[in-house]
Structure 1
Amino acid sequence: MSIQLFGRWNLEVTKAIHNLENRFQVQGADSGNGTFPPTVGLNLTPAGTAWLLTAEYREATAQPWKSSDMMIDPGPLDRVDIQATIGAEDPLPSRDFEDIQWAARYLDGTLLEIPHRPYAVRTQDLFQMPDGIFETALGTYYMAVRVVNRWGLPFTSDHVLNISAASRAALAVGGIHVIDAWSHAELTSLGQSQRGTGMVLGPLVPGSARTVYFKIDVSAAAPRKHEVEFVLQNVTGMADPLHPARRVRKQIFVSRTAVDPQTGEIVAEVQEGTLRFKLREIAIDRKNGRKGRKRCPPPRRRPGEKDVRDRLRHTLQALLDGRPIDPCVIQELLACYCTQGPGGGHPLDPMRPTDGRFCYDPFFAFPTRFSYTITPRVPFEGQYGPIPFQDPWWKVLLLVIAVLLLLAGALSEAADVAYHDEDLVIGSLGRSQQNDVDAALCVLDTDRALGFGQVLDVQSNEDNQNFENALDGQITLASTIMPIAEVMALLADPNTPDAQLQVFKSGATTGLTHGLMSGFTSMPFTREDDGTQFNLPQLRISPDPAFGENVSRPGDSGSIWVHRATGRPVALHHSGTDDPDRATASFLEDVFKQLKVTL
């Protein structure tokens, strides 16, 4: 047998007590491969993504080499710089694993990676919030954290990811509370298990990733970026609990949305400024809305406003006069009036939409005609300023508002389509087609359309930093798209160099990432998440080993894949998978034909 190791290790032969001829091999490493004698004091430093240490023996010179049994003992206490004992044993009665024995030490000093900022998942339906933003109006979320094992050994069921005590205290000061109470059904639905207040990571081999979830309440959170410190712990004991490699800091983004009762506008606040939104028209998923509707239970009779106020005034006056009253009477008066007040919420569940007669399960709705204004905290120069699609992604805030419009009863009063401020209207939704290309056409009314020949290059606050032109810059695209026939010719030729297959895209979640055009989907292709069917070939994009980046993440949909060598747009990104890591996109040539677009 062999021992598989990951990363860079120091191996020193400390014992060689054997009766047969022995040797050992290092295979599959980036450096340090070879066959070596078991000389006490021999010191090696192999390194690689994953490699094998194999001990062998033979009974006579002319006999073939055979594999010895092997074991690894990482020590009594878990530590980042693993100090393990590895032993090999020939098939003899005494199994002391000292025929060859190594003192093995892990040298890379890494433990885990969290490649993306944690993102918000709704607890009711496991729906990811737009771009993972935590919106205070919905209160409690699952916080999804993607963890990659960068250690020298697999994580076991004893390894848990937790939020550090100091970070929990800092989050509480910012209005965010970590909820450690989980039901068995919740944990099962997310495919995870809990030990103490941490979430189990193992079994997880180095290089592999797992998403774990924490539960947090952001209803009282300040609208800004909040830093979360995650710590990887071994619940059976650690030799170095304060080692910095055990800790990773990431930011989460929080927005706060409410209705301005004076203007009827929806107001969304983030750290960089305030967006005020007026709704004019909305597209509704009528099919699923009707399917999920039920007659509302009859409301309780609501007393008149004057009657309630008079009874409340008399009760409070009696209390001030020192007369004995039941304090619960005050609560009952307020509850009776306030829970039956105006608003569109479900009488039993305020997070479910209702039109008064019917109560609905949540369904999709998207604003199609609206206007908005933005007030940045730091003013910009010029007449228009930059397109406000940068951090915190004003376009994503509009999606957050779309999610809230029919899910949060508190916002239903803002669904008045009586606003007609033509100076602020940015456009309207035109033709759309879900099957085959999954795209929509937006007609813009402002000068912002003039800037659409460019995409953002790598921004300094993003995880991936492999820029094309300049950090915090822009990339100008070619004015013509790459035709399907040319892509097919490149993929059909086995001698096409990677440089001609390289593409990049600037996505809302991952920023600028790179990939390789790798093939096409089989026809027909049905997307698993929503059943969208594609009868036209879809382009597959795989990771580019030259950059070592994830191809895409949820929230990148709608970004354009661009041919790196020529700058020509190729395809419209619409979906991706984690296993294997790849993206799927509709050819722009097909999108233009289906939506009748010409350039």
Structure 2
Amino acid sequence: MSVQLYGRWDLRVVEAVHTWENRYRVEGAASGSGTYPGDVGSQVTADGAAWALVAEHRENAAAAWKPSEMMIDPGLDRVDVRAVIGAEDPLPTRDFRDIRWDARFLDGALFEVPYRPYAVRVDDLFQMPDGIFEAALGVYLMGVRVINRWGLPFTDTHVLDISPGSRSDLAMRGVRILDTWSQAELASLGQRQLGTGMVLGPLAPGAGKTVYFKVDVRNAAPRKHEVELVCRNLAGMADAGHPARRVRTQIFVSRTSVDPATGEIVSRVQEGTLRMRLREFALDQVNGRKGRHRCPPERRTAAGKGGGPSAEQRDLLRRALQALLDGRPVDPCLIQEILDCACASTPCGCGGGGDGRPHDHDGGRDCDEPFYAFPTKFSYTVTPAAPFPGQHGPIPFDDPWWKVLLLIIAILLLIAGAIAEAADVAYQDEDLVIGTLGRVQRDDVDAALCVLDTDRSLAFLTTLDAQSNEDSQNAVTALDGDIALATPVMTRAELDAIMLLPVTDPQRKVHKSGARTGLTHAIMTGFAPLGHDLATWTIDQLALETDPDFNELVSQPGDSGSIWVHTATLRPVALHHSGDGPGTLGRASLLDDVQRLMGITISG
């Protein structure tokens, strides 16, 4: 037996109660590997990405060394940066004191935050440009990427939190940390809250995950704000104040408003102010209209002023039940969530369609999905906060993030204002609501269940073939036609068998109908637990590459959610979620895994 450790540890033998001869070995370490006596005072510092501590015993000098039993325990006081490791030979009692080490983790912090926390809009979960928190938009999710740099796994009792001192400092600067979450909100992000912290485990050494905090910056000063993150073990800590538990980082806040006297948009950060006037911009009007839909209604209690379920709740239930009667696939958990919410005596989130996403509700107004828009003519001035001597000041050289940020924020807000002003009345149309979002699974498959309105969807198990207005004209059945899919979905075992065939074999060929690229073809090349960095990938994903027979792009941004179909049999294979910049590589979750993790069956 052995104990697997990660990173840099100091091992010192503090107890040796053995009848037979004992020793220990360090294996696989970048430094410190070797064999050492099992006597009190023996000490070694070992370091490596992953290495093993092995204890051994023998009955006499002529006997062979045999492995001893081993255990590792953070100790009775639940100390995370220090552990007790014990080894046990067969005699005299099983107390793991034949060799006992005092093990200290020396690798700095228990966790790493590889890049600064970033702002995510609560209504659509889109990241703000460069992750900047714009005060004009108010409440955000603060995404924090965490990598375990401790030598042992984080468990379900380890949480990431913002330290009380940092919370107080941020509050004085107008940044409020909001700790009130609904279970639906937490579920939509794939995280769990304990106290005011977010659970980190299970998270193996070297692995990473993203956790989210809710932040209100509407009163924040436009500047960089320091955030101190702390890792706590809620099962108990004797080392609560240890600096290895804390990591300091920053968030960037801007503040944008409109000058009523000049009509300019004014963006401020710590380093200076940008004033901008937009004169012309180009707008994708087709997708702008398609992306507009009714904002989710306000959350309310079922036993409200009028008593009983609200009109919105009754309408959601009616639509879900009608879809079920029409023979369309409906997640039964969605109906259960609507019923639970309508019958509850406390506020809940089903008014937003049961999607569990945090919403800023807008009183029945319309909301816009992302679409393409960019300025063609504008003018701006940049004024530094502090004057400088000479011709060349700090603006071209220092901290360039804020100058790009100001332009991006100003353009986005101006365009958003123009769209809302021009189209607020024109698109108040119930037909634009495309459906109701149900259960969401971000990690491993990045999938969601929804009920689609009839006039917004094709027949189930049908995809569009190549269309005459698209770049790709390599139709599977007929140009401007539909493709009827066969079931069941392909299993991992079937795909493993296909992967044994030569890469040129027709059985390797698949195709998809993507929103951005249209119908494109690809070759299945293998499996790997890889995907975009907004989710955690612990199970294999399907890897795809350009099919040389067609020389088409595998995917482009906007193709996520399209289905890869086995061309030879027309059976569904995988759910697309990622690709590379040139569009020559793609990643997709096996529908076999989607069915299992979402608790559904895809059938004809």
> How would you bin the TM-score normalised by the shorter chain?
0.5 to 0.7
1:363 pairs with 2:370: yes
Q: Which of these two proteins has the greater Rg computed from alpha carbons?
A: 1
Match of 1:522 in 2: 545
Tell me how far 1:35 sits from its aligned partner: 2.3
1:170 match: 169
In structure 2, the CA distance between the partners of 1:245 and 1:435, relative to structure 1 (3 Å rule), is farther
Report matched runs for 1:492-531 at 5 Å: 522-523=545-546, 526-527=554-555, 530-531=558-559
Same amino acid, percent of matched pairs: 55
Distance 1:110 1:228 in 2: 15
- Partner residue of 1:486? none
SS of 1:49's partner is coil
Deviation at 1:188, TM superposition (A): 1.5
- Note the C-alpha offset of 1:63: 6.7
**Contact preservation (8 Å) 2:6, 2:51:** yes
Structure 1's 414 and 521: CA in aligned 2 closer, same or farther, altered over 3 A? same
SS in 2 for 1:156: coil
SS at match of 1:35: strand
1:351, 1:412 → 2: CA distance? 16
* Per-residue deviation, 1:14: 3.9
Q: Tell me the alpha carbon deviations over residues 34-84 of structure 1, each in whole angstroms, 9 at most, x when there is no partner.
A: 1234234322222333211012345677776543321012212244641x3
CA distance in 1, matches of 2:245, 2:400: 29
TM-superposed deviation, 1:296: 11
Q: CA deviation at 1:85?
A: 2.2
CA shift for structure 1 position 136: 1.1
Distance 1:99 1:385 in 2: 65
Answering whether residue 410 of structure 2 is matched by residue 401 of structure 1, we say yes
> 1:284 aligns to what?
283
Q: Is the 8 A contact 1:143 1:213 kept in 2?
A: yes
Is contact 2:554-2:586 (8 Å) kept? no
Query: Per-residue displacement from partner, 1:226-276 (whole Å, max 9, x unpaired)?
Result: 122222222222223222332222221111112222222211111111111
- What SS is found at the alignment partner of 1:283? strand
Report the secondary structure of 2:545's partner residue. coil
TM-score (norm 2): 0.56
2:346 aligns with none
Question: Do the aligned partners of 2:545 and 2:554 also contact (CA within 8 Å) in 1?
Answer: no
Secondary structure of 2:50's counterpart equals: strand
For the 8 Å contact 2:6–2:152, the answer to whether it is kept is: yes
Pair 406,348 (structure 1): closer, same or farther in 2 beyond 3 Å: farther
1:386 and 1:411, CA in 2 relative to 1: closer, same or farther beyond 3 A?
Answer: farther
Contact 1:259 1:414 in 2 (8 A): no
Q: CA deviation at 1:408?
A: 5.5
Instruction: Check conservation: 2:156, 2:202, Cα contact below 8 A.
Output: yes
Shift of 1:160: 1.4
Q: What residue in structure 2 maps to residue 7 of structure 1? A: 7
Gaps of 5+ in 1: 298-346, 353-358, 416-433, 437-519, 534-570, 579-599
Query: Does the residue aligned with 1:205 lie in a helix, a strand or coil?
Result: coil
| Residues 533-580 of structure 1: CA deviation (Å, up to 9, x unaligned) | 9xxxxxxxxxxxxxxxxxxxxxxxxxxxxxxxxxxxxx98999999xx
Q: Which residue of 1 aligns with 2:309?
A: none
Name the structure 2 match of 1:99.
98
Query: Hey, what does 2:529 align to over in structure 1?
Result: none
Q: How does 1:407-556 map to 2 (within 5 A)?
A: 407=416, 412=421, 522-523=545-546, 526-527=554-555, 530-531=558-559
What amino acid is aligned across from residue 50 of structure 1 in structure 2? A
Deviation at 1:217, TM superposition (A): 0.6
User: Partner residue of 1:391?
Assistant: 400
Residues 378-422 of structure 1 show CA distances to partners (whole Å, capped at 9, x for unaligned) of 23542898548943432222222333345468984899xxxxxxx
**Residue 196 of structure 2 aligns with which residue?**
197
Corresponding residue for 1:375? 383
Residues 149, 204 of structure 1: 8 Å contact kept: yes
Q: What is the deviation of 1:143?
A: 0.7
Q: How does 1:213-228 map to 2 (within 5 A)?
A: 213-228=212-227
User: 1:273 and 1:573 mapped to 2: Cα distance?
Assistant: 37
User: 1:349 corresponds to which residue?
Assistant: 362
* Counterpart residue identity of residue 51, structure 2: W
C-alpha spacing 1:99/1:577, structure 2 compared with 1 (3 Å): farther
Distance 1:40 1:32 in 2: 18
CA distance in 2, matches of 1:577, 1:204: 26
1:16-39 Cα distance to aligned partner (Å, 9 max, x none):
444555432210112221123423
SS in 2 for 1:203: coil
Q: Which moved more, 1:129-138 or 1:246-255?
A: 246-255
Following superposition, the deviation at residue 205 of structure 1 comes to: 2.9
Change (3 A) 1:5 1:133: same
SS at match of 1:143: strand
Tell me whether 1:185 sits opposite 2:192 in the alignment: no
Q: Distance in 2 between matches of 1:289 and 1:155?
A: 44
The SS at the match of 2:49 is strand
How many angstroms does 1:6 deviate by? 2.5
| Structure 2 residue 43 is the aligned partner of structure 1 residue 43 | yes
Secondary structure of 1:363's match? coil
Question: Partner letter of residue 45 of structure 2?
Answer: T
Aligned counterparts of 1:401 and 1:137: Cα–Cα separation in 2: 11
Matches for 1:133-148 after TM superposition, within 5 Å: 133-148=132-147
In structure 2, relative to structure 1, the CA distance for the partners of 1:72 and 1:383 (3 Å cut) is closer
Listed one character per residue, the Cα deviations across residues 458-491 of structure 1 (whole Å, up to 9, x for unaligned) are xxxxxxxxxxxxxxxxxxxxxxxxxxxxxxxxxx
Equivalent position amino acid for 1:530 in 2 = G
Q: CA RMSD in A?
A: 4.1
TM-score (normalizing by structure 1): 0.56
Instruction: Indicate conservation of the 8 Å contact 1:14/1:41, yes or no.
Output: yes
Matched-pair contact (CA < 8 Å) for 1:79–1:238: yes
- 1:182 deviates by 0.7
SS in 2 for 1:7: coil
Paired with 1:294 and 1:248, the residues of 2 have a C-alpha distance of 41
Distance 1:213 1:38, change over 3 A: same
Distance 1:274 1:25, change over 3 A: same
Say if 2:556 and 2:583, in contact at 8 Å, map to a contact too: no
Closer/same/farther in 2, CA of residues 392 and 350 from structure 1, 3 Å limit:
farther
Q: Which amino acid aligns with 2:94?
A: R
In 2, Cα distance between the equivalents of 1:242 and 1:294?
A: 49
Distance 1:63-1:531 versus aligned 2 partners, 3 A rule: farther
Q: Does structure 1 retain, via aligned residues, the 8 Å contact 2:13–2:42?
A: yes
Conservation of the 8 A alpha-carbon contact between 2:70 and 2:96: yes
